[in-house]
Amino acid sequence: MATRDDVLQELGLTPVWRKRTPVLPPLPVRPAAANAVAGEAASAASAGIVDEPSTSHAADDDRAARIARLEWADFAADVDACTACGLARTRNRSVPGVGDRHADWMFIGEAPGADEDARGEPFVGQAGRLLDSMLAALGIARGSHVYIANVLKCRPPNNRSPEPAEAEACRPYLDRQISLIAPRLVVALGRSAATALLGVDATIASLRGRVHRYRSVPLIVTYHPAYLLRNLPDKAKAWEDLILARRILRDSGQAADATGAPATDPSE
């Protein structure tokens, strides 16, 4: 088990705070890029790719029911073939998720960025390295006891925030992953992921520090690693969140051991 000093070192909290050059700033929306996207939209429409999720509830239900029966063998290919929202026409690679398919921990971010879009794997690049340090602080690692995914499986152009309709169109995939993995704890990384999962419009400050639930799984909210790279002092708060998450997981295990049932939600 990592000591507190080990963990603080992994998170870059020792020996002293150092002011670093902010990295991964939000990409500006360039008019040229916006025009390119508009042009692609016209091409996509002619190719049968929709800009908005289907308005047919029956079709949506059929799609959701089909995705809810997907097995791992077909999951990534199904995501890769998905055209249920307009992101299908701007992505380079879909990013289904990565990790231990029997994990206790599931970390969920907002959406793939440029690095992820290029490699087809979530949380690579500098933010990914910080997430790996956060996982190491918990004594787990990518691919061992943890699964990493995003609310959206495709990158929004210019790293814009996901549209609610896109998150809704992609939700069946995330829900199927949660059903297949059956994690004991979800960690929502950043406000966007947290509000999309919880269906609330709230600040991250108001969501941190307590236990929520998503599909009956305890859920903890903390900062997105890309945010932490730009706001170093908040790493200490992220560490508090990880401590809470580890305690919730440990307590739920003890409760299950003692009663054969999952722990109750302290927030309820």
| Contact footprint for ligand SF4 (CB under 6 A) | 79, 82-85, 87-88, 94, 152-154, 166, 169-170
Alpha helix positions (H), the chain: 4-10, 31-46, 57-67, 72-81, 114-119, 125-137, 164-181, 191-198, 204-207, 225-230, 235-259
Q: Please identify, using beta-carbon distances, which residue of 138 and 152 lies nearer to ligand SF4.
A: 152
Q: What's the CA dihedral at 17, 21, 24, 30 to 10 degrees?
A: 150
Taking the complex as a whole, how short is the minimal distance between the CB of residue 139 and ligand SF4, in angstroms? 32
Q: Please identify, using beta-carbon distances, which residue of 109 and 218 lies nearer to ligand SF4.
A: 109
Q: Please identify, using beta-carbon distances, which residue of 87 and 238 lies nearer to ligand SF4.
A: 87
Taking the complex as a whole, how short is the minimal distance between the CB of residue 168 and ligand SF4, in angstroms? 9
Q: Please identify, using beta-carbon distances, which residue of 31 and 48 lies nearer to ligand SF4.
A: 48
Q: What angle do CA 134, 72, 183 make, to 5 degrees?
A: 40
Taking the complex as a whole, how short is the minimal distance between the CB of residue 48 and ligand SF4, in angstroms? 13
The SS3 of residue 133 is: helix
Q: Are 159 and 194 within 8 A, CB to CB? A: no
Taking the complex as a whole, how short is the minimal distance between the CB of residue 178 and ligand SF4, in angstroms? 15
